[in-house]
Structure 1
Amino acid sequence: MRELDRLFEGWLDAHWRASSAEDRETFQRLLDCEDDRLWRWFLGHETAPDAALQSLVERMRQLDA
């Protein structure tokens, strides 16, 4: 999904270099999720199944704010 690609690229450009190993691992786990699931998380219709994923989703959502 192009919208998700833009969101992920924005986070990579802005935060990857300074991110912790934990955030990098969490980002990698996001990449393994299905697009329809990610879309629901990023739109706020559902929450991610664990706190680390949800925290990263929320921080990524703030990139466009």
Structure 2
Amino acid sequence: MTGTTRSSADLDPRRRRILVRAWRRGIREMDLVIGGFADAEIGTLDEAELDQLEQLMAEEDADIFRWVTGEAETPDRFRTAMFDRIRAYVPDFEPSAADPESQAGQS
């Protein structure tokens, strides 16, 4: 996946800005997590959820990455139902040894 798969044509300006920022995070892993979430959910988030998303996106990518992967404890202010939904968009960043593609070229 190289970026958004969602059209922003039907979105208001605030949602468009958030969608663009979600896919331009600074580290690719966070593009995939926040961008994937935004692609799927941006059209249905209410104003309070948009506020929460913008507050989260103001944090350092490395911190967000540790929170969504469980490597670090999530601060209380981000322990929300929406943050739990974002976690659902975390891809498997470490393919298993049983994955044939992860074994390619490792002879």
TM-score normalized with structure 2 length: 0.52
Question: In proportion to residue count, which structure has more helix?
Answer: 1
Give the equivalent residue in structure 2 for 1:41.
67
CA distance in 1: counterparts of 2:84 and 2:65, whole angstroms: 12
Shift of 1:64: 5.1
Structure 1: unaligned runs, 5 residues or longer: none
Structure 2: unaligned runs, 5 residues or longer: 1-26, 92-107
Structure exhibiting the larger radius of gyration computed from Cα positions: 2
Higher relative contact order (CA 8 A, sep 6+): 1
**Residue deviations 1:5-54 (CA, integer Å, cap 9, x gap):** 11111111111111111110010011110112111101112232225x22
Larger mean CA deviation between 16-25 and 39-48 belongs to: 39-48
Q: Percent identity?
A: 25
CA distance in 1: counterparts of 2:55 and 2:44, whole angstroms: 18
Give the equivalent residue in structure 1 for 2:15.
none
CA distance in 1: counterparts of 2:30 and 2:79, whole angstroms: 15
TM-score normalized with structure 1 length: 0.79
Give the equivalent residue in structure 1 for 2:83.
57
Give the equivalent residue in structure 1 for 2:50.
24
